[in-house]
Structure 1
């Protein structure tokens, strides 16, 4: 099978982030045929400002092109006040602007979140999924991971070590593979 290009973005810019540990574990556990790139540029994404016009700021143009080229977008979001943090909202808002290449149009998106609370960022995932759908993305909401009590599953070096979350991520990749393979099948005319 040909390679599946996954572009991963973590909505946290904080050192020692539980969500960053989740993204790195997703990258580690993906295996063939997935190629997962964990993007580190979101700290440089400016707030959306409609007066900026075109061309897009360089970091935004690069981000839009990279997302458009990916087979699957993986978004790992923290939860702040039962919502998505501003940084993640800015990333999605920039991606959702209706200008070529329209990177979210029809793009399969997988969501993950980690939180010290028991729901693992589920509220943020719901809001993020709604926002993404309004931008034209295909949110694979049956293919998500929410790690509750995440601080119990991440070691002092920022590595996701919990067996249950690691198993859940590995199973997620199998479900994503099945989904991508079925989407790539040619339907007879």
Structure 2
């Protein structure tokens, strides 16, 4: 919504300002030709579009861990985010996965920039922009769920991972939230024709 308002102001702003300026000073419309206003408006549109390109970087709407999310929800959120990694901003999917990394996991894999490098490594890069994923339950109990995740990568290769999610038991804002504790190295299952 903010983007639309900024763009509308860039387009209409010079014309609105011109209208009030001429009315205020009782000037003839011939003194300030429409051509100059069009050029000013075009410049403002270009500047607005340029700034809007970076607007999403400061307004991400990432899902935060909460106790209402079940283990399957958590893994689905992470996989869907990695599938469209650069929407709404570069590496948004990886940042979403990071939000659901268990605090104990973050101690090993963090900070975020280190985590991003790990996801772009050979072991996990096939998760980024993957075509399809399938989740099967291996085990579930009160505090831990383990899944086998099948990934069809963007280059039509199939892999599987063991994905473990645990309930946070330590005190803090994520107590009783389900978060990822580990993801195995991939098992290559072959190419899909």
**TM score, norm. by length of structure 2:** 0.24
Q: Which has the higher contact order (CA 8 A, sep 6+)?
A: 1
**Structure of larger gyration radius:** 2
**TM score, norm. by length of structure 1:** 0.24
Tell me which protein shows more strand as a share of its residues.
2
